[in-house]
Amino acid sequence: EKGTYPHFMLKEIDEQPFVMRRIIKEYQTEDNKLKLDADVRQAMKACDRIYIIAAGTSYHAGLVGKEFIEKLANIPVEVHIASEFSYNMPLLSENPLFVFISQSGETADSRAVLVRIKELGHPALTITNVPGSTLSREADYTLNLYAGPEIAVASTKAYTAQIAVLAILAVDTAQAKELELDFDPMQELAIVANAMEVLTDQKEAIEELVRENLGTTRNAFFIGRSTDYHVCQEGSLKLKEISYIQAEGFAGGELKHGTIALIEEGTPVIAIATQENVNLSIRGNVQEVAARGANTMVFSMKGLEQDTDAFVIPHVHELLTPLASVVPMQLLAYYAALHRDCDVDKPRNLAKSVTVE
Ligand code: F6R
Q: Is 123 in the pocket of ligand 1 (CB under 6 A)?
A: no
Ligand 1 atom at shortest distance from the alpha carbon of 60 = 10
pLDDT tens by residue, 288-315:
999 999 999 999 999 999 999 999 999 9
Please check whether residue 83 is in contact with residue 357, taking contact to mean a CB–CB distance below 8 angstroms.
Answer: yes
Q: Average of pLDDT values for 55-60? A: 98
Q: How far is the CA of 220 from the centre of ligand 1 (A)?
A: 21
Q: Which residue has the least CA distance to atom 3 on ligand 1?
A: 56
pLDDT digits (tens, 9 = 90+) for 193-202: 999 999 999 9
CA–CA distance, 52 with 125 (Å, rounded to integer): 9
∠ at Cα 108 (104, 111), nearest 5°? Answer: 90
Q: Is the CB of 162 under 6 A from ligand 1?
A: no
Separation CA 356–CA 336 (nearest Å): 29
Instruction: Please state, for a pLDDT cut of 90, what percent of the chain lies above it.
Output: 92
This model's pTM is above 0.90: yes
Residue 32 banded pLDDT, cuts 50, 70, 90: confident
Q: What phi, psi does 311 have (nearest 5°)?
A: -160, 140
285 bridge partner residues? none
Residue 304 Cα to ligand 1 middle (Å) = 32
3-state secondary structure of 167: helix
State whether the beta carbon of 103 lies less than 6 angstroms from ligand 1.
yes
Whether the pLDDT of residue 160 is over 80: the answer is yes
- The pick from 58, 64, 111 for probing ligand 1's pocket by mutation, whose C-beta has the most ligand atoms within 8 angstroms, reads 58
Residues in the chain: 357
Active site residue 45: no
In the reported structure, the alpha carbon of residue 58 is separated from the centroid of ligand 1 by a whole-number distance in angstroms of: 6
Average pLDDT, the chain: 96
CA distance 98 to 43: 10
In the 8-state DSSP scheme, what is residue 89? Answer: P
The ipTM, to two decimals, is 0.99
Report the pLDDT value the prediction gives residue 350, as an integer from 0 to 100: 83
pLDDT > 90? residue 357: no
Q: How far is the CA of 146 from the centre of ligand 1 (A)?
A: 16
Q: Output the residue whose Cα is nearest ligand 1's atom 4.
A: 56
For ligand 1, is residue 151 a contact (CB within 6 Å)? no
Predicted confidence band at 52 (pLDDT cuts at 50, 70, 90)?
A: very high
Provide the 3-class DSSP secondary structure of residue 3. Answer: coil
Give the per-residue pLDDT at 307.
97
Does residue 242 carry a pLDDT above 80? Answer: yes
Split at pLDDT 50, 70, 90, the class of 210 is: very high
* Mean pLDDT of the region 151-158: 96
Averaged pLDDT, 42-52: 98
Rounded to whole angstroms, the Cα distance separating 321 from 226 reads 11
